[in-house]
């Protein structure tokens, strides 16, 4: 099984609706990153979370880290077509030094105008 | 799922030397490959995008003469760090995708420049 799982796998929402994407780790999280990918393009860094309970917002996107649950959620408020793409979470599973970032399988988001 | 390999996984070199990192898609043809860099405890940052048979597109702030990228075939892309310096020490990760398909990530290469 994967070390990082994301749910849902895909999501189709009406423009203006709110949505949440979850990222769950099977191991302790020492850093959690959220990225967005548009088809055929490189990853766009959204946010990094490092402390349990930490919450960050950027425009209409909010991410939280629940360290105890080894889980992070990404919430988009009043979705727009520009939010469409694949959302990837990446995790740092090493405490003392950095190692490769483990990525989740991604969540594909479509926003219908 | 699709597999992307990188070689070497870890390299230590002296300052001033050049280092080549290979990224291979093992079971699919990668029309596009991406190179990322990650500093300790920081996010991945996209360095460049390369399409097979054409010149790579570099992100702003990335020196194309220092980080040479070659995407000679549909299964291989190389990143050469020329005249490496200690500040180039980092983790380099490649990803590969087919025709507008999902990106598959390599395991990464840790570069340490002494």
Predicted confidence (pLDDT) per residue in A57-75, tens digit:
988 999 999 978 799 999 9
pLDDT over 70 for what percent of chain B? 92
Q: How far apart are CA A61 and CA B110, in angstroms?
A: 32
Print the SS3 string covering A89-111.
EEEECCCCCCCCCEECCCEEEEE
Q: What is the average per-residue pLDDT within A32-55?
A: 83
Shortest CA gap A72–chain B (Å): 16
Q: B43–A48: do the CB atoms touch at under 8 Å?
A: yes
Residues with Cβ within 8 Å of B60's Cβ and at least 6 positions away in sequence, in order, are none
Q: A45–B45: do the CB atoms touch at under 8 Å?
A: yes
Q: B44–A86: do the CB atoms touch at under 8 Å?
A: no
**Omega of the bond leading into A47 within 30 degrees of 0 (cis):** no
Q: What is the pLDDT of residue A13?
A: 97
Buried b (16+ CB within 10 A) or exposed e, B33-58: bbbbbbeeebbbbbbbbbebeeebeb
Q: What is the pLDDT of residue A24?
A: 95
Q: Is A33 on the interface with B (CB under 8 A)?
A: yes
């Amino acid at each position: 099984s994967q070390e990082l799982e994301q749910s849902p796998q895909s999501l189709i929402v009406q423009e203006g609706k709110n949505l949440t994407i979850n990222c769950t780790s099977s191991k302790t999280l020492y850093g959690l990153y959220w990225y967005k990918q548009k088809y055929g393009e490189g990853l766009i860094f959204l946010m990094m979370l490092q402390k349990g309970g930490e919450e960050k917002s950027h425009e209409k996107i909010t991410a939280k880290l629940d360290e105890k649950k080894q889980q992070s959620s990404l919430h988009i408020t009043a979705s727009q077509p520009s939010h469409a793409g694949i959302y990837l979470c990446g995790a740092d599973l090493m405490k003392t030094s950095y190692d490769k970032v483990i990525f989740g399988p991604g969540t594909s988001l479509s926003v219908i105008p | 799922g699709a597999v992307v390999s990188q070689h070497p996984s870890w390299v230590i070199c002296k300052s001033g030397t050049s280092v080549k990192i290979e990224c291979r898609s093992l079971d699919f043809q990668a029309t596009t490959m991406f190179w990322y860099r990650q500093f300790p405890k920081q996010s991945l940052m996209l360095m460049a995008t390369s399409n097979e048979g054409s010149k790579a597109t570099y992100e702003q702030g990335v020196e194309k003469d220092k980080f040479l990228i070659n995407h000679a075939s549909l299964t291989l892309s190389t990143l050469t760090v020329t005249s490496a310096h200690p500040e180039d020490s980092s983790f380099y990760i490649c990803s590969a995708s087919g025709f507008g398909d999902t990106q598959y990530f390599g395991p990464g290469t840790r570069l340490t420049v002494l």
